[in-house]
């Protein structure tokens, strides 16, 4: 065993062994069990759902197929769309507000420490508390809607959290087509970057794949229709309230990250740029923002996985049953613990896991790679 | 000699109910306003069996939303509570009885002479394949329309008798400047409205057939229910999902709306919290088209298989079903006794009228409150509602409801 070249490695291994075993059982074992459950029909027959020794049959990917194309699972598909829009606006909001605050604070205004604490404070609350506070403020009859009356204007009419209006509607049947378009745009960008970096082979491969994908999208992709009927999904305006609360809570965190990044940029760099005649805007555009890019990436990863698995904030703000503000995590709870559809709930859980993994794994991979390089 | 004496004493005590000892765990979601009613029952139990330690395992959360999830983990984990609160009917039967987790209580009903004390319609709702599975402690009525008599006189309208009449009254009120004549609250209260519309449009027979599988959800009659429901919704406030049921009742009391369809816990809210007098401060009528029909829901207790303190639980169930127990519990809870021989003088004016109807009316069960459909159907009915609300397509909603009914084997 050349693993244990000396005693120290052996001791080291023995010390982490218990946690390896526990992780193996309670994380990976249970993930596997959930995955297996999602391939069964547990819960379809109410007589078996909660019996002491349920008879469970293996049905393959039937639950997944139903979730994406089944007639009664429209709610799940809307939830996926909700999650998409929520993630985009939540991340953009947090990054924008956080960066803005950090730039202001970086100029060392009076009472900087005080403001830093104020801005960071929401992060110390739990989402349940944030949700409860914002629920009061976003009552249709009160709170924010009453603000205009303070200056003599008529009160607001916006139905925070309860609106049923949708914008940017897209049919679920167009999804394969749109996905192909998005992926080919990404591939084109990769190709351009590769050509610029002089990696011609990579560039050709990326261009070729993009072309193939586009060809497929405009020919066969149009005929691939998951549903026999058109089903429109879009951005629920009711989510605006949730996004506001979530950005309020987490932008302090991005501010702290950016502030640390800004403080880490040596003064000499800025001075050198100023001496070279750079305007303040050019200084930010050319020097500071590029240096902040790694921080943006880390913030996006952290915020991204928070938004994908968000549950408590929405539960507290709008309740589990309010469909316009539903997300997959809430639906998983309802499906498993209210409707007793245990296998289908497990399937939703697995899809969530895959989504979060799609965000986290590339990040971990790049981190590991850079550590090895060091 | 001494041993013999001790054994004799033990035997003597054993023959008395007083000698019951051990524990009894009561699992419920009665906290807050409903806590004192449960406490009254527990106090009675302690008086009868002072040696039994009663554990009040309450999980808070209205209508049992949290309690049911906790109950499931406990049952699946092999640690059932001695007796748990559950909405009487399919919520118990479709979830736990079909899973073979509950004991048959028919012998208890016969021993205690309850077969004639509870209305037959109720016993039918509690039964599965001819056996009875839970003891109902109270009755609430679901199909009640609430209003303020003085306001209606002011507007010059009468409480409508049918849904068609309701829609006319709605137009009249709208023309008098009332934006939303019907006050509506969050998600489940919308489904609550749906069941009253369904009962009013279908009538008691077809409504019952819906749940025993004789009438399919995609039948034109049920599609008509959804269409009426849509027109009734047009009379309601647009910010419904942001309001609790209490806030919806408040709108009626404040004159912003004329009517609200809610269960009769609303009467408890208006008399106790708002201090109004039944008949003067607020008035009531059966939901349109449902006169002579009592849509009921009921809290009940059952006996899970494999509990540790079976005798104690049976004693508890005897108390829950007794006249004494029900008359101690219900006036505090704001509901009426499930038994038909309870003492009306303990109840207020609204509850007395409900008691009269309970004894004379045709009885059907509520959907949202667990009487006629199993949990798996109730929970997914929310999705059907969403399909309807987002597209206002009655046929699509009916098809979805039928698909779910087939999947959960409703009525089989």
Q: What is the pLDDT of residue A369?
A: 80
Tokens representing residue B323 in the block? 């006249």
From residue B87, give the alpha-carbon distance in Å to each of B197, B312, B369.
Answer: 22, 22, 7
Query: Do the Cβ atoms of A54 and A42 come closer than 8 Å?
Result: yes
pLDDT band of B68, cuts 50, 70, 90: confident
Contact A159 B387 (CB under 8 A): no
Q: Is the pLDDT of residue B17 over 50?
A: no
Tokens representing residue A104 in the block? 């202001």
Between A286 and B197, name the one with better pLDDT.
B197
Structure-token match 């899809």, residue found: A351
| CA proximity to B124, closest of B137, B136, B108 | B136
Q: What is the pLDDT of residue B15?
A: 47
Between A346 and B391, name the one with better pLDDT.
A346
**Helix B375-391 × helix B187-212 angle, to 10°:** 120
Lowest mean pLDDT among A19-23, A279-283, B20-24, B116-120: B20-24
Contact B69 A324 (CB under 8 A): no
- A–B interface: beta-carbon pairs under 8 A: 104
| Residue B357 burial by Cβ neighbours in a 10 Å radius (0-12, 13-18, 19+) | buried
For residue A153, how many C-alpha atoms fall within 13 Å in the half-sphere facing its CB? 9
State which residue of chain B sits closest to A52, comparing Cα positions.
B76
Interface residues from chain B to A (CB-CB < 8 Å): 65, 68-69, 72, 75-76, 78, 94-96, 98-101, 186-188, 238-243, 374-376, 379-380, 382-384, 386-387, 389-390, 399-400, 403-404, 407-409
B143-192 tens-digit pLDDT: 999 999 999 999 999 999 999 999 999 999 999 989 899 999 888 899 99
| CA proximity to A163, closest of A330, A321, A322, A324 | A324
State which residue of chain B sits closest to A49, comparing Cα positions.
B99
Question: What is the SS3 assignment for B81?
Answer: coil
**Optimal mutation site among A78, A340, A341, A348, interface B, most CBs of chain B within 10 A:** A340
Q: What is the pLDDT of residue B409?
A: 86
Q: What is the pLDDT of residue A44?
A: 86
For Cα atoms A117, A121, A124, give the angle at the middle one, nearest 5 degrees.
Answer: 135
Q: What is the pLDDT of residue B140?
A: 94
Contact B99 A46 (CB under 8 A): yes
In whole angstroms, what is the distance from residue A50 CA to residue A43 CA? Answer: 8
Query: Do the Cβ atoms of B126 and B88 come closer than 8 Å?
Result: yes
**Optimal mutation site among B99, B254, B391, B404, interface A, most CBs of chain A within 10 A:** B99
Neighbours of A297 (CB within 10 A): 12
Which of B69, B99, B241 is opposite residue A337, by nearest beta carbon? B69
| CA proximity to B26, closest of B16, B11, B41 | B41
Tokens representing residue A41 in the block? 């029909």
* B383 sits in which H/E element: helix B375-391
Question: What is the SS3 assignment for B38?
Answer: helix
Which of A49, A74, A337 is opposite residue B99, by nearest beta carbon? A49
User: Could you tell me the pTM of the whole model?
Assistant: 0.86
In whole angstroms, what is the distance from residue B378 CA to residue B385 CA? Answer: 11
**Helix A112-120 × helix A239-264 angle, to 10°:** 140
- The sheet that has B362-365: what strands, in order across it? B140-141, B293-297, B362-365
Q: How confident is the prediction for chain B on average, in pLDDT? A: 89
Q: What is the pLDDT of residue B28?
A: 92
Contact B95 A161 (CB under 8 A): no
Q: What is the pLDDT of residue A225?
A: 79
Q: Is the pLDDT of residue B10 over 80?
A: no
Q: Is the pLDDT of residue A16 over 90?
A: yes
Q: Is the pLDDT of residue B233 over 90?
A: yes
Q: Is the pLDDT of residue B3 over 60?
A: no
Q: What is the pLDDT of residue A280?
A: 86
Contact A323 B379 (CB under 8 A): no
Q: What is the pLDDT of residue A287?
A: 87
Q: Is the pLDDT of residue A331 over 80?
A: yes
In whole angstroms, what is the distance from residue B93 CA to residue A322 CA? Answer: 27
Q: What is the pLDDT of residue A222?
A: 77
**Optimal mutation site among A45, A50, A317, interface B, most CBs of chain B within 10 A:** A50
Which of B78, B94, B383 is opposite residue A75, by nearest beta carbon? B383
A contacts of B407 (beta carbons < 8 Å): 44
Shortest alpha-carbon distance between residue B410 and chain A (Å): 10
In whole angstroms, what is the distance from residue A197 CA to residue A189 CA? Answer: 12
pLDDT band of B5, cuts 50, 70, 90: low
| Residues above pLDDT 70, as percent of chain A | 98
Structure-token match 């002089």, residue found: A198
Which of B95, B187, B240 is opposite residue A50, by nearest beta carbon? B95
In whole angstroms, what is the distance from residue B255 CA to residue B234 CA? Answer: 18
Q: How confident is the prediction for chain A on average, in pLDDT? A: 88
Strands (E), B202-280: 259-262
Which of A50, A71, A160 is opposite residue B96, by nearest beta carbon? A50
Shortest alpha-carbon distance between residue B377 and chain A (Å): 7
Contact A341 B376 (CB under 8 A): yes
Interface residues from chain A to B (CB-CB < 8 Å): 43-52, 54, 71-72, 74-75, 139-141, 159-162, 164, 318-324, 334-335, 337-341
Close Cβ partners of A37 (under 8 Å, ≥ 6 residues apart): A342, A343, A346
Q: Is the pLDDT of residue A142 over 80?
A: no
B266-282 tens-digit pLDDT: 998 898 888 899 999 99
| CA proximity to B204, closest of B196, B193, B216 | B196
Contact B96 A45 (CB under 8 A): no
| CA proximity to A235, closest of A304, A172, A176, A164 | A164
A152-176 tens-digit pLDDT: 887 777 778 878 888 888 888 888 8
In whole angstroms, what separates CA B222 from the centre of its chain?
A: 23
Q: Is the pLDDT of residue B2 over 80?
A: no
Question: What is the SS3 assignment for B274?
Answer: coil
Q: What is the pLDDT of residue B173?
A: 94
Query: Do the Cβ atoms of A161 and A138 come closer than 8 Å?
Result: yes
Q: What is the pLDDT of residue A2?
A: 60
Query: Do the Cβ atoms of A335 and A70 come closer than 8 Å?
Result: no
B contacts of A48 (beta carbons < 8 Å): 99
Contact A51 B99 (CB under 8 A): yes
| CA proximity to B358, closest of B87, B113, B90, B119 | B119
Mean pLDDT score, A269-286: 88
Close Cβ partners of A58 (under 8 Å, ≥ 6 residues apart): A39, A40
| Residue A124 burial by Cβ neighbours in a 10 Å radius (0-12, 13-18, 19+) | exposed
Written as one string, the DSSP assignment of A321-353 is T-GGG--HHHHHHHHHHTS--HHHHHHHHHHHH
Q: What is the pLDDT of residue B62?
A: 66
Which of B238, B383, B399 is opposite residue A159, by nearest beta carbon? B238
Question: What is the SS3 assignment for B303?
Answer: coil
Q: What is the pLDDT of residue B20?
A: 67
Strands (E), B247-322: 259-262, 283-286, 293-297, 299-301
B contacts of A321 (beta carbons < 8 Å): 186-188, 382
Q: Is the pLDDT of residue B32 over 90?
A: no
* ipTM score of complex: 0.84
Q: Is the pLDDT of residue B258 over 90?
A: yes
Q: What is the pLDDT of residue A139?
A: 80
Query: Do the Cβ atoms of B24 and B54 come closer than 8 Å?
Result: yes
């Amino acid at each position: 065993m050349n693993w244990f070249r000396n005693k120290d490695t052996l001791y080291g291994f023995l010390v982490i062994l218990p946690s390896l075993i526990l992780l193996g059982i309670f994380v990976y074992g249970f993930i596997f069990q959930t995955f297996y459950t999602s391939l069964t029909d547990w819960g379809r027959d109410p007589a078996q759902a909660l019996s002491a020794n349920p008879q469970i049959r293996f049905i393959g990917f039937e639950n997944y197929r139903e979730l994406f194309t089944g007639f009664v699972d429209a709610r799940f598909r809307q939830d996926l769309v909700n999650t998409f829009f929520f993630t985009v606006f939540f991340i953009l909001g947090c990054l924008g507000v956080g960066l803005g605050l950090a730039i202001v604070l970086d100029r060392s205004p009076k009472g900087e420490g005080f403001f830093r604490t104020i801005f960071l404070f929401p992060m110390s609350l739990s989402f349940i508390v944030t949700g409860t506070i914002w629920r009061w403020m976003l009552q249709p009859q009160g709170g924010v809607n009453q603000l205009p009356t303070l200056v003599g204007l008529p009160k607001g009419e916006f139905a925070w959290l309860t609106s049923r209006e949708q914008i940017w509607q897209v049919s679920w049947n167009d999804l394969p087509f749109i996905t192909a378009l998005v992926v080919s745009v990404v591939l084109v960008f990769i190709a351009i970057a590769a050509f610029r970096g002089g990696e011609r082979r990579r560039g050709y491969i990326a261009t070729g794949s993009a072309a193939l994908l586009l060809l497929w999208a405009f020919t066969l992709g149009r005929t691939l229709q998951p549903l026999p009927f058109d089903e429109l999904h879009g951005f629920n305006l009711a989510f605006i309230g949730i996004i506001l609360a979530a950005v309020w809570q987490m932008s302090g965190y991005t501010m702290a990250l950016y502030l640390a990044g800004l403080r880490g940029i040596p003064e000499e760099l800025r001075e050198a740029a100023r001496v070279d005649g750079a305007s303040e805007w050019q200084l930010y555009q050319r020097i500071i923002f590029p240096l902040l890019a790694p921080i943006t990436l880390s913030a996006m990863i952290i915020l991204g996985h928070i938004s994908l698995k968000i549950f408590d904030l929405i539960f507290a703000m709008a309740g589990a049953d309010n469909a316009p503000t539903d997300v997959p995590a809430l639906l998983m709870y309802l499906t498993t613990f209210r409707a007793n559809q245990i296998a289908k709930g497990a399937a939703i859980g697995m899809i969530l896991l895959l989504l979060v993994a799609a965000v986290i794994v590339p990040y971990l991979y790049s981190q590991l790679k850079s550590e090895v390089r060091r | 000699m001494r041993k013999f004496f001790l054994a004799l004493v033990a035997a003597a005590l054993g023959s008395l109910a007083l000698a019951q000892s051990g524990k009894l765990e009561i699992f419920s979601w009665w906290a807050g306003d409903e806590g004192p009613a449960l406490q009254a029952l527990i106090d009675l139990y302690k008086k009868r069996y002072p040696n039994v330690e009663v554990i009040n395992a309450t999980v808070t959360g209205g209508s049992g939303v949290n309690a049911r999830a906790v109950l499931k983990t406990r049952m699946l984990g092999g640690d059932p509570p001695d007796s748990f609160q559950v909405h009487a009917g399919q919520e118990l039967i479709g979830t736990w009885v079909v899973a073979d987790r509950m004991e048959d209580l028919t012998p208890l009903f016969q021993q205690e002479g309850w077969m004639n004390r509870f209305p037959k319609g109720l016993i039918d709702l509690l039964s599965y394949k001819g056996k009875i599975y839970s003891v109902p402690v109270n009755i609430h009525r679901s199909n009640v329309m609430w209003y303020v008599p003085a306001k209606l006189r002011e507007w010059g309208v009468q409480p409508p008798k049918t849904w068609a009449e309701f829609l006319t009254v709605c137009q009249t009120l709208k023309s008098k400047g009332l934006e939303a004549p019907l006050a509506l609250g969050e998600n489940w209260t919308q489904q609550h409205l749906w069941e009253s519309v369904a009962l009013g449009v279908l009538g008691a027979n077809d409504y019952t057939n819906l749940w025993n599988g004789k009438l399919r959800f995609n039948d034109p009659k049920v599609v008509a229910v959804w269409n009426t429901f849509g027109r009734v919704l047009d009379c309601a406030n647009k910010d419904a999902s942001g309001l609790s049921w209490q806030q919806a009742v408040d709108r009626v009391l404040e004159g912003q709306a004329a009517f609200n369809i809610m269960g009769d816990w609303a009467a408890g809210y208006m008399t106790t919290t708002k201090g109004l007098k039944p008949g003067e401060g607020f008035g009531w009528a059966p939901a349109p088209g449902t006169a002579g029909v009592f849509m009921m829901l009921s809290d009940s207790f059952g006996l899970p298989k494999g509990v540790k303190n079976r005798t104690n639980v049976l004693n508890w169930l005897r108390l829950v079903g007794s006249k004494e127990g029900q008359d101690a519990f219900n006036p505090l809870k704001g509901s009426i006794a499930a038994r038909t021989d309870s003492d009306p003088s303990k109840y207020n004016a609204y509850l007395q009228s409900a008691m009269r109807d309970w004894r004379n009316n045709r009885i059907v069960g509520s959907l949202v409150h667990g009487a006629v459909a199993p949990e798996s159907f109730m929970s997914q009915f929310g999705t059907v509602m969403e399909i309807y609300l987002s597209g206002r397509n009655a046929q699509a909603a009916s098809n979805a409801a039928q698909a779910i009914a087939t999947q959960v084997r409703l009525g089989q």
